[in-house]
Each structure stands twice: as structure tokens, then as C-alpha cells.
Amino acid sequence: MNNTYIIREAVPDDAEKMIIYLNQVGGESDNLLHGDNEFTVPVEGVKRKLAMSKDSENSIVLIALDNEQIIARAELEGYYPARIRHRAKFSISVRKDYWNQGIGTEMMKRIVEQAKKMKLSVIELEVISDNARGINLYHKMGFVDIGLYKKYFYVNGMYKDAVVMQKVL
């Protein structure tokens, strides 16, 4: 196991590295919202998003870095409306050359800790129904299936369903 990485909250100055990372991981799996080099948000947009997340009471972006390069990213995106502010949407990705090293599990543990500090009571996510590795990780971390989202993804000319999951804190 590689223990040289650090995990910290992302800041606006991480925007350039974040874009490079997202375009790389997009090409490593069909399980993310964008493919190879399909992440086209300009640097200023990513900086704004990271600044808003940092200032938010119910959102956070964590990154894992190895040799100053982002190797994993996890995000809790809290909702703003008062009646659903107790909920946040979760997403995570890990660079393929760092898979199976426990980084995803560690990032999820940190995200759950942050969610509790932020007084969130529900973390929710969608995961492509054939992403067995992701589904296993989420189940291991206490997420339960609450439904199926039909035709959630359109990738490589095909629709794919997603499993909708939640963890009640």
C-alpha cells in the first residue's frame, strides 16, 4: 500500500490540477459523468466552485495528493433549500493506477466525518448499476440501495441504469 499520499480540503488554487485530474480519470472508466478530456469547465469556473464549496456549511471537496498530483477526489455537495439542507450528494473518483490501495475507503471515512461535523443527516449518491467495485465500497461504508434510476447514463451509445443509494447518519 502506498502511504505517501495526503488528504486535504481542495482550495481554489487546486483548480488547474483538478481539471487535469478530472480529464485523466474520465478516460480511465465509464463510471463517471464525463469521459476522456470531456471535462471542459474553464479554470475560473472550477476556482469559483471550489471557493463556494469551501465557504459552504454543507459542502466540501476533499482531494488526495501524491507528489503534488491529485490522485483521488471526493465531494459532498449540499443542497441549499431549507427543507433539504440536511442532505448532500456524494461523488468520488480515484486514479486507476491507485485503485485497490484503500484510498477510496479512506476518502469515504473522511467525508462521513465531515458530514457529521456539518450536521448532515443523509448522504446520497447514484452509481452505475454495473459498477460492482463502487457498489461494494458503498455497501461496505453503510450505504443502502433505495431505488433504480432508469437510463441514468448515456455512454458509448448505450443507456445505463444507476442504483440510487443513501446513508442515514
In whole angstroms, what is the distance from residue 104 CA to residue 27 CA? Answer: 18
pLDDT reading at 69 higher than 90 = yes
Mean pLDDT of all residues in 90-109? 95
pTM above 0.75, yes or no: yes
- Average pLDDT score over residue span 132-145: 95
26 against 116, higher pLDDT: 116
Task: Name the residue among 91, 96, 102, 107 with its Cα closest to residue 33.
Answer: 91
pLDDT, position 3: 66
pLDDT band at 41 (very low <50, low <70, confident <90, very high): confident
Task: Name the band, by pLDDT with cuts 50, 70 and 90, for residue 156.
Answer: confident
d(CA 25, CA 32): 8
Res. 30: pLDDT tops 90: no
Which one-letter DSSP state was computed for residue 111?
A: H
**Average pLDDT of the residues of the chain:** 92
For residue 97, give the amino acid letter. D
Gyration radius of the chain's alpha carbons: 15
For residue 58, which amino acid is it? N
The CATH number of the domain covering residues in 6-119: 3.40.630.30
Domain range annotation of the chain: 6-119
Of the candidates 109, 111, 104, the one whose C-alpha atom is nearest the C-alpha of residue 59 is 111
C-beta separation of 65 from 162 below 8 A: no
